Amino acid sequence: MRLAELGASELLRRLRGEGLLLRTGPFTTRVLTPIDAVARGLELLYGHYPVLDSAEFADFTVTLARPGGLLRRLRPQVLFTYDGALPFEPLPIDHAFPLFEWAMNWCISSQAHQYLTLHAAVIERNGCAVIMPAPPGSGKSTLCAGLVSRGWRLLSDELALISLTDGSLTPLCRPISLKNRSIDIMKAYAPEAVFNVVTHDTSKGSVTHMKADPAHVARMAETARPRWIIFPKYVADAPAALAPRSRAGSLLDLGRNSFNYMVQGLPGFECLSDLVDACQCYTFEYSQLNDAVALFDSLARQESGE
């Protein structure tokens, strides 16, 4: 069953009762919350995702609730609870849906050690994937959103899940996080896309989430082969340009972008080394999405022999 088939009343009942079991990629998350903004965001952005029976196993349990006491009335806030612990400080109540997305990322990056996990966007075309690691503010998510709106398949805009056994990439197809100027850029570039309401004054500025293509959601079980590692950077007025970079330097930077490289030990090092050996590594600068899309499309055509 898909979330959209539940209907609004059943969605609220599950969220406020035994929990909504939401399947995203290889993970099942039990979501518990009485907060309407989270329910509305789920209904808008996750309608095509599978939901499971409440008796099924959940990898994570995410609880978003208001704190009790006088603070509840004086300064409405939201708390994220995981197994009784509070990983984050309370946030204003209108930050509830972004907090849900950040909580999901935290659960995976801190708990899912069956994968080597990188902070990176991942897209795919013709079975070959691009891994795009980059620090905040590099234009990674904007580039990812632009490419998936022009025919590339979304695997993830935040977390690359790499198999420790065969190096394949497992999709984690969830809404794309956009912030500040990127929001208006993508609304103009992909006017047919669906966006959640904009939340202002977060720790990242103004943020929203762009709905993943339902066709990409339907292919969440379809892994991809890594072919390119591209470190993107938005540079005002710069032409779209790829510059080859060394595998040794790429390996070091990927290690810095990994959430659990040190946890994995030798298997993590071997996995990362094999990944770099299997891929072409580049630095990429861009300022215009159309130029970036054209360059990435040319890579895909060259790979497929078109």
User: CA 133, 135, 139, 143: dihedral to nearest 10 degrees?
Assistant: 20
pLDDT at 71: 59
pLDDT in tens, the chain (306 residues): 999 999 999 999 999 999 999 999 999 999 999 999 999 999 999 999 999 998 899 999 999 999 876 656 667 899 999 988 899 999 999 999 999 999 999 999 999 999 999 999 999 999 999 999 988 788 899 999 999 999 999 999 999 999 999 999 999 999 999 999 999 999 999 999 999 999 999 999 999 999 999 999 999 999 999 999 999 999 999 999 999 999 999 999 999 999 999 999 999 999 999 999 999 999 999 999 999 999 999 999 988 766
CATH code of the domain made up of 115-304 = 3.40.50
Neighbouring residues of 302: CB distance < 8 A, sequence distance ≥ 6: none
pLDDT at 162: 98
Structure tokens at 213: 């293509």
Alpha helices in 123-244 (DSSP H): 140-148, 181-189, 214-217
Given a contact cutoff of 8 angstroms between Cβ atoms, the answer to whether 56 and 13 are in contact is no
Q: What is the residue whose two structure tokens read 């309370």?
A: 90
Strands (E), 25-67: 27-32, 51-52, 60-65
Q: What is the tens place of the pLDDT at every residue in 113-129? A: 999 999 999 999 999 99
Residues carrying CATH 3.40.50, the chain: 115-304
pLDDT at 131: 98
Task: Kindly calculate the radius of gyration of the chain based on its CA atoms and give it in whole angstroms.
Answer: 19
Q: What is the tens place of the pLDDT at every residue in 192-203? A: 999 999 999 999
Given a contact cutoff of 8 angstroms between Cβ atoms, the answer to whether 56 and 21 are in contact is yes
Q: What is the residue whose two structure tokens read 């025919």?
A: 151
pLDDT at 69: 65
Scored b (16 or more CB within 10 A) or e, 40-60 reads: bbbbbbbbbbbbeeeeeebeb
Strand pairing report for 51-52 and 20-24: antiparallel
Number of helices (H), then strands (E), belonging to the chain: the values are: 11, 17
Q: How far apart are CA 15 and CA 34, in angstroms?
A: 7
Structure tokens at 4: 């959209």
pLDDT at 84: 81
pLDDT at 72: 60
Given a contact cutoff of 8 angstroms between Cβ atoms, the answer to whether 199 and 41 are in contact is no
Exposed / middle / buried, residue 139 (Cβ in 10 Å: 0-12, 13-18, 19+)? buried
Q: How far apart are CA 105 and CA 161, in angstroms?
A: 12
Nearest Cα to 256, choosing from 116, 111, 119, 108? 119
Work out the number of other CB atoms within 10 angstroms of the CB of residue 229: 26
Does the predicted TM-score (pTM) go above 0.85?
yes
- Residue 220: how many CA atoms within 13 Å on its side-chain side? 19
First to last CA, the chain: 39
Q: How far apart are CA 18 and CA 31, in angstroms?
A: 9
Alpha helices in the chain (DSSP H): 8-16, 36-45, 71-74, 96-111, 140-148, 181-189, 214-217, 247-256, 261-264, 266-278, 289-304
pLDDT at 73: 64
